[in-house]
Every structure is written in structure tokens, then in C-alpha cells.
Amino acid sequence: MPPAGGFDQGWSVNDPCFFKDEARGWILGRVTKVVGVGRTATLSLASADGKVTAERDASAIEAASARAREGVEDMVALDELTEATVLSTLRVRYDRKQIYTNVGGILVAVNPYETIANVYGEDRMAGAAAADAAFSGAAPHPFVMAEQALRALDRDRASQSFVISGESGSGKTETCKFILRYLSYRSKRRFELAGTPRGGANALEESVLLSNPVLEAFGNAKTLRNDNSSRWGKYTQVYVEPSSGAIKSVGITAYLLEKVRVVERARGERNYHVLHQLVAGAKKQKKGDAGLALAVGLGDAQTSHAVLRDTATSSAAIGVDDAAQFAVTRDALRKLDVAQPGLFGALAAVCHLGDVCFESVEAEGQDAAAAIANQDLRMGRKAEHAADAAARALGVDRAQLEEALVSRRGAGVRT
């Protein structure tokens, strides 16, 4: 067999190789015919599954070593790290439902877009926590990386960082949740092993996990590529006691929120989850709920308000129960002691304000000014104007709201 990446020794029939296919990328195959010698040879090729045949110059082919074909856990062990060997390793492991692969200290994850059993249970967390110093036998996993970080924190007494990156839909949000779940598990485990009551620690650990549905509701939305895409970046800081792994505090900094999505989206995309949840779930909550008192007046359907309207997408079409998710979001807010009346009133106002129309008003001797039009964009039964509904949701006077919307403040003077 020729060495990986080299062809001076020539190719032989049945040599395993990687060749590039326009539709499938780099694929594993074998040589079926050789015409010529060395790099100038022309090779006839067949994929391993027999579905693709091709002819390629020898210089465009890569040798496929046994390690590149077997799907190693750590790609550092490959004879040569190339695009072909990396993709082949990931493909082999993905077909085995092994979605995690190491490249030294880097963990590569391939989103399976399905639920895989026995991958994130407490037994896997216990296995990572019990791993030996070399982590021998520990399969690639976010739990293992989290455990390595905790041990490095204790050993080096220096902060540890995870950088989670990837394209939309690759699983960044889920991976972050898995790491936080493991850190929470290790923090609780410290008290369980010691046989001591956890006291306030339990509430802190639960808060770490409860923050996820809230952050996703307010910061995630459906895009053309991902039904739960994070439209913001976040920097999460978890302060951990080095020797025990106990969580002391957590801080989350948000940045790059996609504000324009509130008023404009590509066809087939949705607004932020929480707005859809509020419209779907508010009417289904118990009557007299003070938390939703200011949200009364919202339309019954997703098409009732312009900021939610999208004829190409519905909740049913993407398999989302917005009303059920609203209950989850509310429960998390309640447990996190977040005041809900004003919050839901502000969200309802966003829905109403998206239906407000403006018109130009001209007065003799004055420049044209903006004013709220008598018509609005709401669909269905209209008990009141969208601006009145927004003012009521915000708890302000209609005149005050209108002044704020059609005038601006410059150098301390409204114009």
C-alpha cells in the first residue's frame, strides 16, 4: 500500500483509498484498475458500498490506512490528519451512533438529529466522575471534558474554559446544557458522598438548570436551518470550589441579540419562542392569574399579530407545543423568583405594538409629523386599538405612549 498522501511507490488493484465525490464528499473505496505509474497514473475506483465508480488522477487520491477506516476515538492516533481521514473517522463513528470524537483536547460532536439512548444519563455522569487519572477507557463525551476541567481547576488552581463553536444546528446549545448539567451533578454529588445536607447549594444547582428554558425562550427562534437556533451569544461563568467541585455562583453575559428579528424575519422563520408561547399559552392559564393580567387582549391565534405572522410556518408544522412550552417557561421563572406580571405585560406590548400603523400628518406652517393611524394590522375581532392594548399592557396612558412613539428627544428637548 502506498503511504498516506504519497504515490511514488504506485498503486495496486484493491488498495483501499479515499477519493472525492461531488455529491458525497470524501468517500472510502478501493482501486479497481491502474493505468500508468506513480503520480501520473489514472485510477479506476469503486466506493466501499459499490454505489459510486469514478476515474481519478493518482495525485487526487489518498491512501486509507486501517486506523482511518476503523473509526478511532481520538484522531491524534491517525497516521495522517487530513480532510479525508477526519471525515471518514467521523462518518464511521456516526454510523455506529458514536457522535463524539476527540482530537487531542478538542471534542468534535456530530448532531444525530435523533434521541440516542443511554448517552446522557446519570450512569454516564457517574462513570466520568469515577474515571482514573489518565481517563483510560473513558469514551469521548462532554461529561468527560467537564470532569477534566474540574480536575485541572483543582490541580492547577487556574480558571478553565470551554469554547463551544459550530454552524447553526450543530448542537452548541445542547452541548452547553450537558456541561452545566454535569457540573451541577458533581456539585450535588459532593454533599451526597459526605452525607451532609446541601442547604442552599441545592437551590443554586437547580437554578443553573432552570435558567436553560428561560434563556431559550427569550433568545432562541426557528430559522430555516434550525428549529431552536440561538440568536444570541452567551458567556457563562460558573464559580466552583476547586477541591470539592461545589458550585458557588453562576453568571451569564448575553451579547449580539438579534433585535431585528422582532419586526422582520425571513419567510419560513419564526419570532422568538417566548412571544409564540405567550400567545398560545396565556388563554389556557387559570383565570385571575395575576402574572398574566397584563397579557389579556392578545389574539387567540399565531396569525393575530404581525410580529408572529408567517404563513409558511406554524407551531404544528415544526412539532412544537407552544402552550406546553409556555408552562415550562413560567414554572422556571417562578422557581427563579422572577416577577412575572410586568414581564408578560411588556411581552404582550411587543405583540400589540407590532400591529400599530403610522401616518404622516401635515399642519399649515409646520413640518410633517408622524401620528398613530386609526387602522392597525391586527386580524380577527378587535375590541380596542393596538395602541390602546399596548398602553394597557405596559400600564401607561395612551397619550404618553403615543408621544414616546412619534417624538424623539434631542439635547434634552422633545422634537
- In tens, the pLDDT along 137-155 reads 899 999 999 999 999 999 9
Q: What are 72's three cell numbers?
A: 478511532
pLDDT at residue 369 in the model: 85
Residue showing cell 469521548: 140
Closest-CA residue to 129 (of 77, 177, 185, 178):
185
Distance CA 84, CA 97 (A): 20
In whole angstroms, what separates CA 232 from the centre of its chain?
9
Q: Is the pTM of this model over 0.95?
A: no
Closest-CA residue to 326 (of 269, 298, 271, 285):
285
Distance CA 357, CA 371 (A): 9
Q: What are 164's three cell numbers?
A: 463551544
pLDDT at residue 1 in the model: 44
Mean pLDDT per 10-residue section of the chain, whose length is 415 residues: 49 95 93 90 94 94 93 94 94 95 96 92 95 93 97 95 91 92 88 55 73 91 89 89 89 83 89 91 66 66 79 60 91 88 90 92 79 82 82 92 84 55
Question: Contacts from 286-295 at CB under 8 Å and sequence distance 24+?
Answer: 290/341, 291/330, 291/340, 291/341, 291/344, 292/340, 292/341, 292/344, 293/341, 293/345, 294/341, 294/342, 294/344, 294/345, 294/348, 294/392, 294/393, 294/394, 294/395, 295/344, 295/345, 295/347, 295/348, 295/393
Distance CA 158, CA 160 (A): 6
pLDDT at residue 73 in the model: 96
Residues 6+ apart with CB under 8 A from 32: 13, 14, 44, 45, 46, 53
pLDDT at residue 287 in the model: 58
pLDDT at residue 318 in the model: 67
- In tens, the pLDDT along 104-121 reads 999 999 999 888 999 999
Distance CA 313, CA 81 (A): 42
